Structure 1
Amino acid sequence: MNALTDVKFLQPHRHTIGKPYKQLVVEYDRETKAVWTYLNPTGTPCFNLGLLNDLIDNHKSFNANGGKAMCEGSLEPIEYFVGASKTEHIFNYGGDLALFVLLIKSRDRQALLHYAKMCIDCLHGRLTSYDTNAVTISLIQGDALGGGFESALSSNVIIAEESSRMGFPEILFNLFPGMGAYSLLARRLGAKMAEEMILSGKIYSASELHQLGLVDVLVPDGQGENAVYDFIHTNNRKKNGMRAMYECRRHTNPVTYDELMNITEVWVDAALRLEDRDLKMMGRLVRSQQRQLASRKEGQAINPANDFVE
């Protein structure tokens, strides 16, 4: 939608809400009626079991409160859910590859399926706006790969900073992204383009995805959070119509829980067919992610061409 712009909106004060999660930070802004959920995983910034548990528990808390946020002892309305990351320059690397290697080597199909189901529970919850009519926004301020990209795509709106990158590298270890990628991409871009993106393993710049229509708002680095507030205030007068439009999108092109689970079963079976060379590549990616994280923390530049080279 929006081209690269300079955003100047100042952020209101937000209150921390919810439980003291170990890998999640949840805040509420009364002025915009927005819940901000920050991924804050320990170790490699991926969807580990602890983070998935926190996300599912947070979703249940909104359901228990009738789709409202408990803030300083009172239930407050929610009009926006914003998903972001506390890890600098990284939104999320996706699946817990180190866990995958262990479960595949031990042939533990049930544990793989359990992990995948947790991912689907998180994704489908966001696809349905957590059973509310709130608008969901993904704020991408770095790399969103694999399941991280799937998570971003599950929102109504994607706002990305200029240096962000997104893509599905799973084909590098002979697998595919099995927690929503095909369903979400096919509905946005068509089956042919979805398959090309998945099979190429290409990591796209935010600008490229903006041109494809997957990124809705593209902003300079460091202005992502202000861009979210700017989006909310710019659309405030038409928010009722906007929410209704996104609800129409869900009715017109529904991504059902059954569809996601059926594809996840395919993913589990495919994962169990991986050979030793594929698992070795998966291990290389784990080490690459760890190196990238260390380099990011030290403020070093990352060369995309060397991401998966040892």
Structure 2
Amino acid sequence: MDSSVGKAIPWTGDEQLIAESAIHNSIPEELFALQELDVLYDDRSAALWTYMSPEGRPSFTPTMLGDFESWQDLIESGFGPDKVPLRYLILGSRSPDVFCFGGDLDLFQRLIRDRDRDALVEYGHRCCRILDRNIRTLDIPMLTVGLVQGTALGGGFEALLSFDYIIAERHATFGLPEVMFGLYPGMGAHALLVRKLGSALADKIIVSNETFTAEQMYEFGIVNQLAEPGDGANAVREFIKKSERRHAGLVGARLATKRVWQLHLQELNEITELWADTALQLTETDLKVMSRLVAAQARLAERIATAAA
């Protein structure tokens, strides 16, 4: 792989996706130099593959959010009609058996103890802006695909709900653990789950503190396709192949669904502001529970990474 086009890293099954982007001078080079996102453009299928590659605990830290903001800006400037073609946008994770643990709980604890509502709201608004732009597919006629090969919790699960399709390996799990420390997901779960599933089932998922399997999420209709463990990327490629002839119709159908949703950024932001107000009501006991969850997730991620090494 040409390191001038992307990071010189082992792509683990993606070797055939040779970076053709060098022949497309309009693709911003900065897209392939983001700190915590590994990006590769597949010229043959006009697909942009992106993998979260966090330096620490796999969560949406301010650094990761900054990369996502730049990622979206660069995609908007380099791709689309009359630019480099983009028909599919795929997001996965390089963290073994973890898609994302969600929000930056370490940061949340500090801001709550400092009574810094403005910073909590700013963090939430950044997340909502990224989510909203993804729901709108950056105003590019493409299909977005979330590839889940492990655990998706909290904001990681919320982020997936903004994708047109979710393809999950059978061992993947999903959950919204915020209620265990007296909070709730504040960056899209209510707005999207209620629209997708109805308020009763959405409420069950949000307040139950249950972990749901990929099979359960498939039965709910949240996961669109199941794949065998280790075969998720191939399942995405097969999805792309089967979708080619129907691409325009699938894009149009998703646009129509979102029009019916009538979901606007203002709604997402208002829910986030309610979330920030609730966060400031957490007790020291709640924050200790949050700390224990952070520590448990960090140990889990470390064990998985050590076993995969």
Please give the secondary structure, in 2, of the residue aligned with 1:121: helix
| Structure 2 partner of 1:13 | 17
TM score, norm. by length of structure 2: 0.89
Summarize the Cα distance change of 1:10–1:282 in structure 2 as closer, same or farther, 3 Å threshold: closer
1:250 to 2:258 alignment? yes
Counterpart selection for 1:28 from 41, 61, 68 = 41
Please give the secondary structure, in 2, of the residue aligned with 1:91: strand
Residue pair 1:160, 1:206 contacting (<8 A) in 2 also: yes
Deviation at 1:40, TM superposition (A): 1.1
Residue pair 2:79, 2:86 contacting (<8 A) in 1 also: no
Residue pair 2:32, 2:40 contacting (<8 A) in 1 also: no
Residue pair 2:78, 2:84 contacting (<8 A) in 1 also: no
1:139-158 pair list within 5 angstroms: 139-158=147-166
Counterpart CA distance in 2 for 1:180 and 1:57 is 21
Deviation at 1:157, TM superposition (A): 0.3
Residue pair 2:79, 2:85 contacting (<8 A) in 1 also: no
Counterpart selection for 2:300 from 287, 292, 300 = 292
1:277 to 2:285 alignment? yes
Counterpart CA distance in 2 for 1:59 and 1:199 is 31
Counterpart CA distance in 1 for 2:65 and 2:130 is 7
Summarize the Cα distance change of 1:263–1:281 in structure 2 as closer, same or farther, 3 Å threshold: same
Deviation at 1:68, TM superposition (A): 6.9
| Structure 1 partner of 2:196 | 188
Deviation at 1:257, TM superposition (A): 0.4
Counterpart CA distance in 1 for 2:71 and 2:81 is 12
Counterpart CA distance in 1 for 2:79 and 2:149 is 31
Deviations 1:181-212 (A, max 9, x none): 00110011101111111110111010111111
Residue pair 1:11, 1:229 contacting (<8 A) in 2 also: no
Please give the secondary structure, in 2, of the residue aligned with 1:201: coil
Please give the secondary structure, in 1, of the residue aligned with 2:307: coil
Instruction: Give the unaligned 5+ runs of structure 2.
Output: 1-12, 22-28
Please give the secondary structure, in 2, of the residue aligned with 1:237: coil
Counterpart CA distance in 1 for 2:95 and 2:201 is 30
1:126 to 2:134 alignment? yes
Please give the secondary structure, in 2, of the residue aligned with 1:273: coil
Counterpart CA distance in 2 for 1:89 and 1:10 is 17
Calculate percent identity across the aligned residue pairs. Answer: 36
Instruction: Give the unaligned 5+ runs of structure 1.
Output: 1-8, 70-74, 301-310
Residue pair 1:11, 1:226 contacting (<8 A) in 2 also: no
Please give the secondary structure, in 1, of the residue aligned with 2:91: strand
Aligned residue pair count: 287
Deviation at 1:67, TM superposition (A): 3.4
Q: What amino acid maps onto 2:196 in structure 1?
A: R
| Structure 2 partner of 1:200 | 208
Deviation at 1:65, TM superposition (A): 2.8
Q: What amino acid maps onto 2:162 in structure 1?
A: S
Deviation at 1:254, TM superposition (A): 2.8
Counterpart CA distance in 2 for 1:216 and 1:201 is 23
Counterpart CA distance in 2 for 1:21 and 1:270 is 34
